[in-house]
Amino acid sequence: MKIYSKTLTATLARCLIMIGVIALTACDSNFTPPPTDNMAGSSLSAYNFSAEGIQEYFVDGAWGSGVGIGSGGGQVCCVKIPRKWHEKLEVTIEWRRTDCGGVDAQGRSKCRDMELGSWPKKTLKKSVPIEPYSAPDTVQVFFLPHDEIKIYVSDMSPGHQEHPSNLGRARPISEEEFQRFMKK
């Protein structure tokens, strides 16, 4: 019984010494915490102000679904954006859209009489600046006439009176409204 007790005591002593060494190592005064991640995960949302349907889009490689003419909203996950906006912040947008020549007098796509899947398509890609934001939130892609894109980071829908775009709900916008919007 005494032999067992001495072995147990020696084992416990070694364990306590190891715990002490580990604890002292953790208190090293030269320890530097790892840098904090300055990126935030954000959902993607799109709004189509153009007269062509968007089949799908990608923001820095993150897939963002399709968006019909004059529609938008919904969210998919995820793209990373900096926690703080800075000058020259941009993303690469790639999208595939119809190339039907716009909408008719009733606001319907000129592709509507074509067989589904036979619509002419166009694939585009460009780098787009992100408009200033104060905190990370939903990355909103605005598809505009003439294959222009605006990117906002906001928790408000475009129809909200305080949305930074002041563009209103998604719909095909007129050439005049587009020109005014782009001059802001």
Question: CA–CA separation, 149 vs 172, rounded Å?
Answer: 14
Q: Would strands 138-144 and 39-48 be described as parallel, antiparallel, or unpaired?
A: parallel
Res 33: pLDDT: 53
Question: CA–CA separation, 90 vs 87, rounded Å?
Answer: 9
Res 17: pLDDT: 62
Res 22: pLDDT: 56
Type of residue at 115: E
pLDDT tens for each residue of the chain, 184 residues long: 455 566 656 666 665 566 655 555 555 455 555 555 799 999 999 999 999 999 999 999 999 989 998 899 888 888 999 999 999 999 999 999 988 887 777 777 787 777 777 777 899 999 999 999 999 999 999 999 999 999 999 999 999 999 999 999 999 999 999 999 998 7
Q: Which residues of 39-55 are buried (b: 16+ CB within 10 A; e: fewer)?
A: ebebbbbbbbbbbbbbb
pTM of the model: 0.76
For 139, residues 6+ apart whose C-beta sits below 8 A from its C-beta are 42, 43, 44, 45, 59, 79, 81, 91, 130, 151, 152, 153
Would you list the domain boundaries of the chain? Answer: 1-32, 39-183
Residues in the chain: 184
